[in-house]
Chain A
């Protein structure tokens, strides 16, 4: 006798196994889950897979997210430790990685994280040969380089979340001083995602009116308005938020979801993301650092050539040299 479900619907053709815009997120810690929820609530992907090693946590997070689907457009969600689940992904977001232990050297952390990626990246590419990789794990510029090397993918398809977040923090803090919306305040932070990031003060503007035209010393040591303090706050932000609430999650989640949207929808917006910068701004080493890039369905298609000051160029080159040393 036919079941209720068989009585209800007559199949016309088999539904597709994997939809067009499938995203995999590796790592379901606070950052990974914030990325997942951010993607989900903004209807950015039609299929989402979560991968990690902790089976219970994965199952619990999956259930919790699925239980909210009646309030959103439908998304197919799966979760597990088997990378086969990730097959057919247009984009794989890697958030997994070790956190710095007390007294641990940066170099040691890098080695530990490189080993973690060794277990991950080849499997992701194996199951989704046409995927893009978006690396979030820190230190992100180094990890993006490592991921690129391990993946065998062309460099345009391996992207680091880089200073997209730093730029967002920069714009928010600038917006507080200007008292206009953050997305009406324009400013870019490039280079290393971390302590030696480079704020491009010459480009900071509202409605095309440059800060440097209003205050030629803005951002320099001679600046009486001390705009440079905003960059210091950006660099301190992550440490401060970790001190206050234990970890950062929401801003990085939003940063990653907007990059995801740009890739899946081929929107060709410009974002500061970590890409291969040998040959850019006088960098000679084969390293990844953030510069404004045009992002689309096939990854990075263009790099925006900013006019940097001598100081900004040498800072970038210095970061590149340090990274190369570690690599």
Chain B
């Protein structure tokens, strides 16, 4: 075989995934099967697991378009990444306080974030680790990157769950149902009922009380199901993975391909919807190659604004107790 030209290292669309637990590796497989990145690096501390997962992924490559996949504990492998996805994080120990858990996670990110930025100074960070809004703030502080380039996966998956559950009631495809959940990714997320629609026909025009406590059709039970979803899935199968993987891979595609789609992701929201604290919460954002370029200004009800602001204050409280 004749070699025509030597192969230099070219940084096309390289993604690094930190953490190869169930969420991290599902994200990797989701990116791989949808041909979203041309190069992927997996970083973690468990060398054997990394090597096993790497081999297993590579052995399927003949069935897909080629991509370069590497794995290891050395962050140098991540060099030249357009996007770094962080899934690593601590699980709550028995009897541990929320503050202690948050501090442990802060310490974990202290070890990860600066290294990622060192090897890929132009990268975008996508934080998945929970509690995602808090940790996106922490990652931003540790990274020294502009806030547009530090994104939390936020309520993108909540919105997807919301749309799926709505689709079951409407009996049309989930992608033909539009609805947004914003704010905190968690128990106090905010469903924007006024925006729920199919083909531009608003649910609130068909049922003005939809989503309120006066609603005889009890649409709000859907939002409660969304909040319960993660707990329910953990109870049933041990851990959530697939929906989160799809959520993150679609965000990855938007960033790498500069698609400028709109997704509910966690971003810096001081000044939005009356929030005065420096916190990260999810709102619909336009995503592109340089990160978040725009925030969509939704018209919220008074209740929705209040809920949003309350979440911000709670987050700010927690943030002020962390040691960086």
User: A3 near B: Cβ within 8 Å?
Assistant: yes
- Return the CB mask of B213-239 against A: 1 if under 8 Å, else 0: 000010100000000010011111110
User: B198 near A: Cβ within 8 Å?
Assistant: yes
Which residues in window 172-189 of B have CB below 8 A to A?
A: 172-175, 177
A248 vs B234: C-alpha distance in the bound complex, in angstroms? 22
A166 vs B65: C-alpha distance in the bound complex, in angstroms? 18
Partner of A64, one of B51, B206, B242, B250: B242
A280 vs B56: C-alpha distance in the bound complex, in angstroms? 32
A61 vs B246: C-alpha distance in the bound complex, in angstroms? 14
Which residues in window 1-31 of A have CB below 8 A to B?
A: 3-5, 7-9, 15
Interface size class of B (residues with CB under 8 A): 35 or more
User: A249 near B: Cβ within 8 Å?
Assistant: yes
Contacting residues, chain B, for A206 (C-beta < 8 A): 1
A250-B29 contact given A64-B233, A67-B242, A168-B62, CB 8 Å threshold: yes
Contacting residues, chain B, for A243 (C-beta < 8 A): 48, 52
B232 CB to nearest chain A CB (Å) = 7
User: B66 near A: Cβ within 8 Å?
Assistant: yes
Q: Cβ of A254 and Cβ of B63 under 8 Å apart?
A: yes
Q: Cβ of A68 and Cβ of B242 under 8 Å apart?
A: yes
A246-B52 contact given A60-B233, A66-B164, A69-B174, CB 8 Å threshold: yes
A172-B62 contact given A63-B236, A68-B160, A244-B49, CB 8 Å threshold: yes
A70 CB to nearest chain B CB (Å) = 4
- Residue of A64, A172, A243, A244 most packed against chain B (CB within 10 A): A64
A240 vs B58: C-alpha distance in the bound complex, in angstroms? 14
Which residues in window 197-237 of A have CB below 8 A to B?
A: 206, 209, 214, 237
Contacting residues, chain A, for B244 (C-beta < 8 A): 68
Partner of A71, one of B160, B235, B237: B160
Q: Cβ of A64 and Cβ of B237 under 8 Å apart?
A: yes
Contacting residues, chain B, for A175 (C-beta < 8 A): 61, 66
Partner of B58, one of A172, A179, A253: A172
Q: Cβ of B247 and Cβ of A5 under 8 Å apart?
A: no
Contacting residues, chain A, for B169 (C-beta < 8 A): 5
Q: Cβ of A63 and Cβ of B229 under 8 Å apart?
A: yes
Q: Is the interface of A mostly helix, strand, loop or mixed?
A: helix
A209-B61 contact given A56-B236, A68-B243, CB 8 Å threshold: no
A245 vs B56: C-alpha distance in the bound complex, in angstroms? 9
- Residue of B30, B169, B235 most packed against chain A (CB within 10 A): B30
User: B15 near A: Cβ within 8 Å?
Assistant: no
B43 CB to nearest chain A CB (Å) = 16
User: B59 near A: Cβ within 8 Å?
Assistant: yes
Q: Cβ of B51 and Cβ of A244 under 8 Å apart?
A: yes
Q: Cβ of B160 and Cβ of A67 under 8 Å apart?
A: yes
User: B306 near A: Cβ within 8 Å?
Assistant: no
Q: Cβ of A250 and Cβ of B242 under 8 Å apart?
A: no
User: B324 near A: Cβ within 8 Å?
Assistant: no
Which residues in window 152-183 of A have CB below 8 A to B?
A: 165, 167-169, 171-172, 175, 178-179, 181-183
A97 vs B113: C-alpha distance in the bound complex, in angstroms? 43
Segment at the B interface, from A34-42, A106-114, A290-298: A34-42
User: B11 near A: Cβ within 8 Å?
Assistant: no
- Return the CB mask of B249-263 against A: 1 if under 8 Å, else 0: 110000000000000
A70-B163 contact given A168-B61, A249-B56, CB 8 Å threshold: yes
A183-B62 contact given A57-B236, A69-B174, A249-B56, CB 8 Å threshold: yes
A145 CB to nearest chain B CB (Å) = 25
Partner of B240, one of A64, A167, A181, A244: A64
Partner of A245, one of B26, B53, B236, B240: B53
Q: Cβ of B60 and Cβ of A255 under 8 Å apart?
A: yes
Which residues in window 295-316 of B have CB below 8 A to A?
A: none
CB-based nearest B residue for A256: B63
A167 vs B203: C-alpha distance in the bound complex, in angstroms? 53
Q: Cβ of B56 and Cβ of A248 under 8 Å apart?
A: yes
A209 vs B2: C-alpha distance in the bound complex, in angstroms? 12
A9 vs B177: C-alpha distance in the bound complex, in angstroms? 13
B253 CB to nearest chain A CB (Å) = 9
A63-B62 contact given A41-B30, A68-B243, A245-B56, CB 8 Å threshold: no
Q: Cβ of A254 and Cβ of B33 under 8 Å apart?
A: yes
A241 vs B242: C-alpha distance in the bound complex, in angstroms? 22
Contacting residues, chain A, for B159 (C-beta < 8 A): 70
- Residue of A63, A65, A242 most packed against chain B (CB within 10 A): A63
What 9 A-B pairs come out closest when comparing CB atoms? A60-B236, A244-B52, A60-B237, A245-B52, A68-B246, A254-B60, A67-B243, A251-B59, A181-B66
A-B contact pairs, 7 of them (CB 8 A): A7-B206, A42-B34, A60-B232, A61-B236, A169-B59, A171-B62, A183-B61
